[in-house]
Chain A
Amino acid sequence: GEKVEQHESTLSVREGDSAVINCTYTDTASSYFPWYKQEAGKSLHFVIDIRSNVDRKQSQRLIVLLDKKAKRFSLHITATQPEDSAIYFCAADTGNYKYVFGAGTRLKVIA
């Protein structure tokens, strides 16, 4: 079955810098890659996604890149702010009603 590896377990950046979180997946059938944010004591909140028919998507300060050949996707957060501090999860979906999540990246934005 699908396996998703999230490469950075923790990441610290200075406010205003960019943060990059990288994930790789194993199943070439995966076609949907969402990202979720979990703030302390809260549940998961959708932030952005990308489908396999594109290789780049941007929503305000968030950019997702997808490299299907390398089976790799990444989340770029530009101009980071303290409120970006959270755990970020990547996921892959092969279209069979189950996400496979990465292990999470704890992002800390230092003011």
Chain B
Amino acid sequence: ETAVFQTPNYHVTQVGNEVSFNCKQTLGHDTMYWYKQDSKKLLKIMFSYNNKQLIVNETVPRRFSPQSSDKAHLNLRIKSVEPEDSAVYLCASSRQNANTEVFFGKGTRLTVV
């Protein structure tokens, strides 16, 4: 079964450390996303990539940087994490045209201590 795969599932780290999250989709989609879901379940878009090109970059602190090697992969690096970065990070993908169903991964839960 094809899907959106995220690793790791969980990560606990200390303030100031650097973390990287991986995401791969096997759906053949052209567009990938990172969303952040906070402890109140609020969902916010962070980045959108279309064919490896950044097309949406919301107001996200500069310590967050997406990295795309090809259109099936979109990783997320966070330099010097802060307590407010504790959240679930959801990777997703969709076909190239907008206004279409988005498929989500299971998420990476980050806890910053």
A31-B99, A93-B98 known; A104 vs B41 contact (CB < 8 Å): yes
Among B41, B102, B105, which residue has its beta carbon within 8 angstroms of that of A34?
A: B102
Chain A interface, >50% SS class = strand
For chain B, the count of residues having a C-beta within 8 Å of the partner chain is 24
Size of chain A's interface in residues, with CB distance under 8 A?
24
Given contacts A43-B104, A44-B104, A98-B48, contact A93 B99 (CB under 8 A): yes
B101 engages A46 (CB within 8 Å): yes
Chain B residues in the interface with A (C-beta under 8 A): 31, 33, 40-45, 48, 50, 55-56, 58, 90, 98-107
Taking Cβ atoms with an 8 Å cutoff, the residues of A that contact B are 31-32, 34, 36, 38, 42-46, 49, 51, 87, 89, 93, 95-101, 103-104
